[in-house]
């Protein structure tokens, strides 16, 4: 199927061959080992998780999700996908308006991952109200 587009393909045309570097150029362009500024042992060995792995560990536990705008959601994480769309059960939705805070209770909710700003595993804005947390707006 490529013949109409590139008739030279498969005919050994010089057009598609990569230039072979000369001996001196190959030596100059060779990869050099990375020089570290400090020894490897001085780097902390704290466990690090990829974001999706951390969210996966939170399935079945309470999460506090801060959304774009003036909404926060607290509930039990049931599942998520690669786009971080989340299904949350036993939900309390906090909406912040100039008139005050409005709390809505829902059985289940599907959150669009594009609207999620932050997720706090095991967090609850009610606990952080007295400490000046996000919910204390």
| Cα 83 to Cα 36, 44, 76, 79, distances in angstroms | 36, 31, 18, 12
For the segment 47-90, what is each residue's pLDDT rounded down to a tens digit? 677 888 889 999 999 999 999 999 999 999 999 999 999 999 99
User: Does the domain made of 51-136 have the CATH classification 2.30.30.100?
Assistant: yes
For the segment 94-126, what is each residue's pLDDT rounded down to a tens digit? 999 999 999 999 999 999 999 999 999 987 777
| Cα 37 to Cα 34, 44, 110, distances in angstroms | 10, 15, 47
d(CA 103, CA 134): 15
Q: Give the per-residue pLDDT at 50.
A: 82
Task: Give, rounded to a whole angstrom, the gap between the first and last alpha carbons of the chain.
Answer: 62
Q: Give the per-residue pLDDT at 81.
A: 92
């Amino acid at each position: 199927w490529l013949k109409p587009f590139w008739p030279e393909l498969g005919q050994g045309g010089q057009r598609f061959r990569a230039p072979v570097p000369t001996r001196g150029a190959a030596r100059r362009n060779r990869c050099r080992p990375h020089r570290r500024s400090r020894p490897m042992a001085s780097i902390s060995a704290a466990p690090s998780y990829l974001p999706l792995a951390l969210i996966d560990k939170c399935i079945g536990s309470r999460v506090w999700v801060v959304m774009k705008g003036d909404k926060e959601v607290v509930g039990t994480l049931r599942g998520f996908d690669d786009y971080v769309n989340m299904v949350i059960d036993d939900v309390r939705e906090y909406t912040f308006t100039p008139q005050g805070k409005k709390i809505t209770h829902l059985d289940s909710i599907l959150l669009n991952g594009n609207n999620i700003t932050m997720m706090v595993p095991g967090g609850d804005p009610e606990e952080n109200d007295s400490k000046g947390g996000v919910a204390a707006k």
